[in-house]
Chains A and B, each alone.
Chain A
Amino acid sequence: METIVNDYLTRELVQDVALLPLGDATSLLETGILHSLSMLRLAVFLRERFGVTVEDADLIPENFDSVDAICAYLRARVGREASHAGVRD
């Protein structure tokens, strides 16, 4: 998962080559990689690739400040939705 997210950010959202290679712990907010429009593109990618829709309440730095944070968020969301589906079944 980390590789997929890192590849996407590197390919689509990192504009400053000095930031490459992008570390999984690098702050995306402090480096300016994530701003309003790039966050929108990332949200579309997460929905299309992982089926996770980013809700308003999830928009906190702890969930999106780095590749590691994004992957932790994705795992939590996927796990939460799987358990909800289990309860419904």
Chain B
Amino acid sequence: MRASVTETVPAVGQRSRRPWSIPVPGVLRAAEAIAFWLVTAPFLALLPAGIGYRAACWRGDWTFRSDPGKRDEITNNLRLVLGEELGGQEAERMTREVFRQRNCWIIDVMRMRGNGRGLGKLVEIRGREHLDAALAGGKGAILCSSHQGSFHSSFSLIHASGYPVTSIGRWWWEFPPGGTSAVVRRMWELVYGRRVDRHRHRPNMAPWPGRWQVAVRAANVLRANEVVTICCDPPPLAEELPRAVEVPFLGGSGRFVPGVVALAQATGAPVLMISIRRLPDYRHQVVEISPPVPMDGETTVAFERCAAAVETVIRAHPAEWDIWYNLEDLIRMGLIPNASQQAATAGARTDQETELQQSSR
């Protein structure tokens, strides 16, 4: 069951019960973030892995304390979606873990320099036999992931380990489309995109609205018996909503664009789910490739199988799902009602409670 909004929003005048909050002004946080991406993280990636990832966790803890707005947003997101399964303290612990994981992902990308061995030696890729068997079929292979763990680095590592990998995906710094300054885009391309793209067979394919060629290009990559990676859980853009399907997801109903199913059914390429998880030492990771998931039947039914596989991974390692970070993304996915719906739900709940109180009296 989902928690109600009224349970997660503190009452007016209620003080935060977190003693460790050290709010830092947004400008200072932004300056620190730029310095971390440009200087500190590349330096940490040169140090022994144990030190680098420990420092990343410390920064995660610091951002957890210094950015109470984002922290509360993530905690609320977790509780609104996972509901009563998640107590308040557990949600808070998981929120801190979200911050730690995000900082470890940065170190992962920085360790992809050169041939990627700096990261490769820390990541165990399981299930290669499934990928080999899929490619032996001659129709390519689709590796389908969620926004879970260090998925960008993992796709690059799979390429570095000998498979021709091309990715379908949109970079976050291009959101909203056309709304990011050229300086910001250049910075992200320099510190992130360049490092990841170096280990891909072809340039990234970004399925923005208006890019009507993307799926056919991906089909041609599969026809060349190569590997295409795709995340099946991006929050749909407004333009994509007419093509979205609704499937059971995380105890509710999630909206997704079933591009992976369309691609698989059009090309006959097998879909292998890929899960990524970080071990408790924060240094090591396991990337696991599954056997093919059946893609026959109606689009929605076939997509439900992907969504079920993704949900299993999220429930096992919830803090590693990147989508918790933004309320707006969860609203677009239909996992959290938007503000007006929340208000209506809260109003209906208040009415019900009043009626109950009156009837009990």
Interface residues of B in 181-228 (CB under 8 A from A): 207, 209, 211-217, 219-220, 223
Interface residues of B in 128-174 (CB under 8 A from A): none
- Bound Cα distance from A64 to B216, whole angstroms: 13
CB pair A36–B219 under 8 Å, yes or no, is no
- State the interface size on chain A (CB cutoff 8 A): 18
Chain B interface: which of A2-10, A52-60, A71-79? A52-60
- Bound Cα distance from A40 to B263, whole angstroms: 8
Interface residues of A in 11-55 (CB under 8 A from B): 15, 29, 34-41, 43-44, 53-55
On whether A54 and B242 interact (CB within 8 A), knowing A36-B207, A40-B262, A41-B266, the answer reads: no
Return chain B residues, CB-CB under 8 Å to A44: 266
CB pair B216–A39 under 8 Å, yes or no, is yes
Tell me the interface secondary structure of chain B in the complex: helix
- Bound Cα distance from A15 to B215, whole angstroms: 19
CB pair B209–A54 under 8 Å, yes or no, is no
Selected from A29, A37, A53, the residue in CB contact (under 8 A) with B243 is: A37
Return chain B residues, CB-CB under 8 Å to A35: 209, 212, 243
| Smallest CB separation, B142 vs chain A (Å) | 13
On whether A29 and B212 interact (CB within 8 A), knowing A35-B243, A37-B243, A40-B219, the answer reads: yes
- Bound Cα distance from A53 to B216, whole angstroms: 10
Selected from B209, B215, B223, the residue in CB contact (under 8 A) with A39 is: B215
| Smallest CB separation, A12 vs chain B (Å) | 13
CB pair B266–A36 under 8 Å, yes or no, is no
- Bound Cα distance from A38 to B240, whole angstroms: 12
- Bound Cα distance from A15 to B243, whole angstroms: 10
| Smallest CB separation, B216 vs chain A (Å) | 5
Instruction: Give the interface centre of A15, A34, A43 by most chain B CB atoms within 10 Å.
Output: A43
Which residue of chain A has the shortest Cβ distance to B213 in the bound complex? A59
On whether A37 and B220 interact (CB within 8 A), knowing A29-B212, A59-B213, the answer reads: no
Which positions in B face A, CB cutoff 8 Å? 207, 209, 211-217, 219-220, 223, 242-243, 257, 259, 262-263, 266
Which positions in A face B, CB cutoff 8 Å? 15, 29, 34-41, 43-44, 53-56, 59, 64
Instruction: Add 15 more A-B contacts to A55-B220, A56-B213, A59-B213 (CB < 8 A).
Output: A15-B242, A35-B243, A36-B207, A37-B215, A39-B212, A39-B215, A40-B215, A40-B216, A40-B219, A43-B219, A44-B266, A53-B223, A54-B220, A56-B217, A64-B212
